[in-house]
Chain A
Amino acid sequence: MNITVRILRYNPEKDEKPYFREYSLQNVSADWRLLDVLHEIKWKQDGTLTFRRSCAHGICGSDGMKVNGKNRLACSVLLKDLNTNKTIVIEPLPALPIVKDLVVDMSSFFSKYEVIKPYLITKTPPPPNSERLQSNEDAEKLFESAKCILCGCCTTSCPSTWSNENYIGPAAFLKTYRFAFDTRDEAGDERLDIIDNPDGIWRCHTIFNCIETCPKEINITWHISQLKKRISTREL
């Protein structure tokens, strides 16, 4: 089949502002990933087209971008999942400064991740020569949140991020959950205090954009609600 793709282009060395450029591709297959389309353009039509990618199967989280208005991983969307009768529109992830074309500056995303202390905090020393015990049931409670690949699709799709650049955001909250609900973690209030503030979890208005966009199909809002419940029921 033949398709048309409109891509937002911006090269800070040349362009005053971003603009759309259209590309036509002939004889592509419905099985192609959108990433294959981007490669086809880059390798055969326009070597200046710039985007991030690595694993090409939805694990490394490099190629988050806006596809027909929704944040997705280019390697996890197949052409058959899109309406190819219409032009496919590709833009960089929103709410982050564009570095070039589809590459955005992720530094604020990662600094919010670092703020929430994304590591196990313990006070009791572990047994010297063996693992800490944890039931498989308790371990599996963490697995959905631990699936997060830090692609940034959720945080940049959230209206609260758009209206407040300091908003910690769903990806970082999910990581807070990952540790706050780990039976081995002993951070207690220290963890909850970080997100219980004006830039924190109460700015989540359950709009569900995060769930809708998450390429790993994580129910982020549910995890956030568990954190809200824990914060609102703790004894101050």
Chain B
Amino acid sequence: MIKNYDVIIIGAGGAGLRAAVEIPKEYSCAVLSKVFPPRSHTGTAQGGVCAALGNMEDDSWENHAFDTVKGSDYLGDQDAIETMCQDAIRAIIELEHMGLPFSRNEDGKIAQRKFGGHTKPADPNDPYGKRIPVMRACYSADRTGHVMLQTLFENCIKNKVDFYSEFFVTDLIIEDNVCKGVVAFDIATGEITVFHAKAVMFASGGYGRVFRITSNAHVGTGDGTALVYRNGLPLEDMEFFQFHPTGLWRLGILVSEAARGEGGILKNKDGERFMQRYAPTVMDLAPRDMVSRAIISEIREGRGIKGSDGTDYVHLDVSHLGKKVIDEKLPEITGFARTYLGVEPTKEPIPIQPTAHYAMGGIPTNVNCEVLADEKGNTVKGLYAAGECACVSVHGGNRLGTNSLLDLVVFGRRGGKAIGEFLKTAEYSEIKSGPESKTKEKMSWLLNNPGGEKVYKLRTELQEWMMDKCGIFRNEQDLSEMVSKLNELKDRYRNISIEDKGTVFNTDLMEALELENLLANAEATVYSALNRKESRGAHTREDFPKRDDENWMKHTFIFENSGTPRIETKPVTVTRYKPMERKY
């Protein structure tokens, strides 16, 4: 079956839905998603979305931009960061106008609270002097992502956007550097459809499921990044993967930074507030990469707490905040602690450990969300990306908390606008023969392969190895071992076999396809990590412990190359913020 749309958006999280709202009504637009839109992972974001509204105290978008650049460990492109932080104010007001139910301050304006890495100068006359935490995160209790996703979905319904829910995208049609559509199958029936389009946007999210302990939903398998990579296009900065410091112990379920923004404290087994040794000025509100490293260092030095299964954790204590603050401002996350760990946060500390959370890297784009074909800045006609699957790069080596939700609405809209402009003159390009044949072959192979290797087994091994060898601390030996393991897993994938041979809602088949995508994302991540011989942001090399601005103020562009990827680089765009030591 062939369907024609002016634009196809892949993914129905924040970025995809925001883009869909922006597409001018005269154009046909369909959103494809492997889950119903309100199931998307945006909904699990908790703490807030930052914009320098100045509703609680003086603030400026320049402060926000400075923090984002510094938080990125100077790898973020400063022009893109300035665009995002400047546009943030309008974007948040727009969400309010769309109906998002924000928490409010005493004046009835959008309430704001502190968040990790968000600061302002202690003395306004000394912009580069000592900085103090600032209330910049706009929120709706601790369900900010949930209400954002709902609000955007509601606005799509209002705008009568066409949804193809529970469609799995298997192929991208690019011929002569022109994107012409995608191939997908309807999960409910197994029927394959070619979506012929003038423009395609990926808003397909991250790939946290490549790690064993992750806050990411089961759907977070990086299908979009893998598809782009397999089609010969580059991925950018894939070595930068953020571990959120506070995941529920064992489970990895996110406990928002809002817990620390409201005054929660991290403690080791001696009850010591250890962050005062690592980040004396902002302590528990240091950026995520630093806090995650601090937690692992405490555990390595024997100051963690041993859990029932032999693994270690540290404590997040919010009990001193009082029941009222906890119930009103942190109801959801304290509920998780009660449900899943049987811990009562109003009385006792919450066991936490770092959890794989967010891909800073992804599909390279310019500020208008046009996908880059190479490190020189050439674009692929008709192909766009936004959100976690994309790398603009506004997050550089480490994303600040709340900037992910902001990225979704700022760049989702910019992508939608850019597509609207493009469609004024774009026409359908003819697709050469049989775009669905590769998908048919692959599905038939997976359904009939006698192999004997099991998806869950390969996936578990991949996740455990990635956690151990390519996690928070990395070194040449571990990464090389990971490369060998990856080659072994890819070999074994050839013998994969699944039990469900049907066409109706075959989740066995989907998991096999998702595993292939995880392997592609892992490959890009490991090779990029091996290549970058410095420590910056979330990428920490024990064998190269210092940041090396002389040699590494550049982005990694990795290209698939039959198992041994090719790596190119692109310089970081610097506007007004000169790299300096990153202390908090």
Contact = CB atoms under 8 A, between A and B. Distances in A.
B111 interface: yes
B456 A43 contact: yes
A117 B90 CA distance: 26
Nearest to B339: A76
Interface in B556-573: none
Instruction: Choose among A11, A54, A130, A178 the residue with the greatest number of B CB atoms under 10 Å from its CB.
Output: A54
B43 A60 contact: yes
A149 B146 contact: yes
B43 A59 contact: yes
Interface string B97-116: 11101111111111100000
B454 interface: yes
Contact of B499 (A46, A99, A146): A46
A84 interface: no
B158 A119 contact: yes
Interface stretch (A134-142, A161-169, A192-200, A223-231): A134-142
Contacts of B217: 54-56, 60
Interface string B486-529: 00000000000011101111111000000000000000000000
B164 interface: no
A27 interface: no
A55 B43 contact: yes
A12 B502 CA distance: 10
A88 interface: no
Instruction: Choose among B101, B150, B155, B499 the residue with the greatest number of A CB atoms under 10 Å from its CB.
Output: B101
B507 A182 contact: no
Contacts of B140: 139, 143, 146
B103 A139 contact: yes
B340 A136 contact: no
Interface string B331-354: 010001001101000000000000
B108 A61 contact: no
Interface stretch (B33-41, B370-378, B394-402): B33-41
Contact of B253 (A46, A52, A57, A142): A57
Given A57-B253, A133-B107, A146 B143 contact: yes
Contact of A132 (B96, B218, B332): B96
B188 A60 contact: no
Size range of the interface on B? 35 or more
A103 B505 contact: yes
A78 interface: yes
A232 interface: no
B157 interface: yes
B216 to A, nearest CB: 9
A150 interface: yes
Given A58-B339, A59-B44, A100-B505, A146 B103 contact: no
B154 interface: yes
Interface string A15-43: 00000000000000001010000000011
A6 interface: no
B500 A47 contact: yes
B146 A59 contact: yes
B38 A61 contact: yes
A12 B504 contact: yes
Contacts of A178: 101
B139 to A, nearest CB: 11
Given A11-B504, A53-B218, A119-B154, A131 B109 contact: yes
Contacts of A106: 36
Contacts of A103: 505
Contacts of A120: 98-99, 154
A9 to B, nearest CB: 12
Nearest to A129: B93
A139 B339 contact: no
Given A55-B39, A55-B41, A119-B155, 11 more contacts: A33-B340, A48-B500, A50-B500, A56-B253, A106-B36, A119-B154, A120-B99, A131-B97, A136-B105, A146-B150, A182-B99
Interface of A: 11-14, 31, 33, 42-44, 46-48, 50-62, 76, 78, 99-100, 103, 106, 110, 114, 117-120, 126, 129-136, 138-140, 142-143, 146-147, 149-150, 178-179, 182, 184-185
11 contacts: A13-B504, A42-B507, A44-B456, A51-B507, A52-B35, A54-B218, A55-B39, A58-B336, A143-B140, A149-B146, A184-B99
